[in-house]
Structure 1
Amino acid sequence: MTLFEIIVLAIIQGITEFLPISSSAHLILPSELLGWDNQGLAFDVAVHVGSLLAVMIYFRQDIARMMVAWLQSGFTSQQTDDSKLAWWVIIATIPAVVIGFLAKDFIEQYTRSALIIACTTIVFGLLLWYADATGKLRKNIYQLTWKSSLVIGLAQALALIPGTSRSGITMTAGLMLGMDRESAARFSFLLSIPVILGAGLIKTLDLLQLETQVDWEALFYGIGLSFVSAYACIYLFLSWISKIGMLPFVIYRLVLGAVLLGFVFW
């Protein structure tokens, strides 16, 4: 890849990983519009590392509190708000892991077409609008239960279908369960940590099996740029979401889906 392609793709990955607009839909556009080649497995690992570092550093205090509380409370009945939240993240991660393991080959073979990505971008965008418009928006992140966490986790498993948007579908589920916008977003971002970590490890293992040369300069730029863009995205999104709502992202998804449909049929 050229330096320009590296910069563009790393920033796209960093931003779209956390906004409810579908990273897979955006990574199709450069190849469709500009004829760029696939970014490659090594670069994919690099941008995932950058995104993971961003979310972990941003939520470092939350993560530390949750880990300490979870280790202290463990499986006892004396659970604190932070230990419960740690449990809810674990519970919500399980469906994506199980379904991803069982349906990986099917998903890879049948759901990665531009048509499916265009349709899911539009459909789940409209569902996000409905959840934001009709949700009660009252519950904070500490009012989650294991049942509501499991529902959000099952919704997250739908993001295995490209175009759905992991952050978008988990926020949609959170809003439907009555969470306020910022709490739904924060829980979605916390859920991204084990998911990105798991995906990154799988891709790294795949990479180690390939006998290919690694462009270390591209990886350095990929990690750095995806980190900066992802961190800025998380900060700005959490600062603005309670004020602006989800409608701007819904409109964007509808336009993006229409553009992708245009590539499919014309």
Structure 2
Amino acid sequence: MDILELVKSAFLGFIEGISEWLPISSTGHMILVDEFVKLNVSQNFWNMYLVVIQLGAILAVCLLFFRDLNPFSIKKRPVERHATWALWGKIVLGCIPAAALGIPLNDWMEEHLLSAEVVALALIGYGIAFIVIELVRRRQHQKRVVALMSEPMGAHFTVDAQRDIEADRQREVGMSNLDELSWKTALGIGCFQVLSLIPGTSRSGSTILGGLMLGCNRELASKFTFFLAIPVMFGASLLKVVRFFQKGGSFGTDETIILLVGCVVAFVISLLAISWLMRFVRKHSFIPFGVYRILLGAAVLAYFFVLK
């Protein structure tokens, strides 16, 4: 077993663990990384590997949000277990649009749209969208603050009341918890997930944008995005493995170890990336990710159409 191949797989797992959850496009990163870090495997195995290492990433979501997702917890009251089952219903509903289009169009998408040009344009386009949407939300928040400040304080205004108003000024506009997420909103976010079929869009990026536009705050949009990934990524991995074997693919001990290393590293890095993102969005906007996407898209264009 070549140790260098394991190092490459670990690096790819690292990239997957970060780029899968941050709205920056794992495909955009992988298409660049593939130019410099190539596993010594068949093309058929490589195509399968890129999808299956997502299993490590998705297991991190299951672990971090186990309480939110577990409807059998004895620590939950009946009403909470009912709410968890309802959440799973919304997750499944949100996955239907992507499954309905993604399964029949998967091979066509890979053949016609998996190119550096498409990935770069998607990176830049959605980067601009993130910046515009966040600026619009910022203006809405500023109007809300001005309205609060213009309200008369009254004769019985207290320090506690002032503290409440200040907290309200800082509070982000939008739905903030899973119980507020309606079935209609869940389906709407799922429709945005369809956009992620275009390489470079970013599954998390498209669904987070959808959540923001449909009235969720950043934390809720991010969390529901993670939940939507569970059936989508498990299903995509299973489909990729089935098609790998249908095309006559097979792998031995070395390939199995390479795949396991990528999955394990993706799992560990995903734990860190998801935890960091949930802390970040409580106090910051997605504008830095929009700027990063634009720069990455420009880098992809420059490398493939100017430097290469």
- The TM-score, its normalising length taken from structure 2, stands at 0.77
Distance verdict in 2 for CA 1:35–1:80, change over 3 Å: closer
Q: Distance in 1 between matches of 2:119 and 2:257?
A: 31
User: 1:171-250 alignment to 2 at 5 Å?
Assistant: 171-209=208-246, 210-214=248-252, 215-250=255-290
Matched, 1:50 2:53: no
Q: Distance in 1 between matches of 2:257 and 2:187?
A: 41
Distance verdict in 2 for CA 1:85–1:211, change over 3 Å: closer
Q: Which has the higher contact order (CA 8 A, sep 6+)?
A: 2
Matched, 1:256 2:293: no
Larger radius of gyration: 2
Q: Deviations over 1:13-48 (max 9, x none)?
A: 11111110000000011223x263567145335412
Distance verdict in 2 for CA 1:212–1:154, change over 3 Å: same
Partner of 1:112: 114
Root mean square deviation of aligned Cα: 2.4
Matched, 1:26 2:32: no
Aligned residues: 258
Q: Distance in 1 between matches of 2:94 and 2:7?
A: 37
User: 1:132-143 alignment to 2 at 5 Å?
Assistant: 132-135=134-137, 137-140=173-176, 141-143=178-180
* 8 A contact 1:51–1:230 mirrored in 2: yes
Q: Distance in 2 between matches of 1:193 and 1:157?
A: 15
After superposing the two structures, state which structure 1 stretch, 88-97 or 128-137, moved more: 128-137
After superposing the two structures, state which structure 1 stretch, 51-60 or 203-212, moved more: 203-212
User: What amino acid is the match of 2:291?
Assistant: I
- The TM-score, its normalising length taken from structure 1, stands at 0.89
* 8 A contact 1:43–1:218 mirrored in 2: no
Q: How far did residue 151 of structure 1 move?
A: 1.3
Partner of 2:205: 168
Which segments of structure 1 move beyond 4 Å, counting only runs of 4 or more? none
Give 5+ residue unaligned stretches, structure 2: 141-172
State the percentage of identical aligned residues.
33
Q: Distance in 2 between matches of 1:123 and 1:142?
A: 32
Distance verdict in 2 for CA 1:251–1:63, change over 3 Å: same
Distance verdict in 2 for CA 1:130–1:216, change over 3 Å: same
Q: Distance in 2 between matches of 1:223 and 1:166?
A: 19
Partner of 2:46: 40
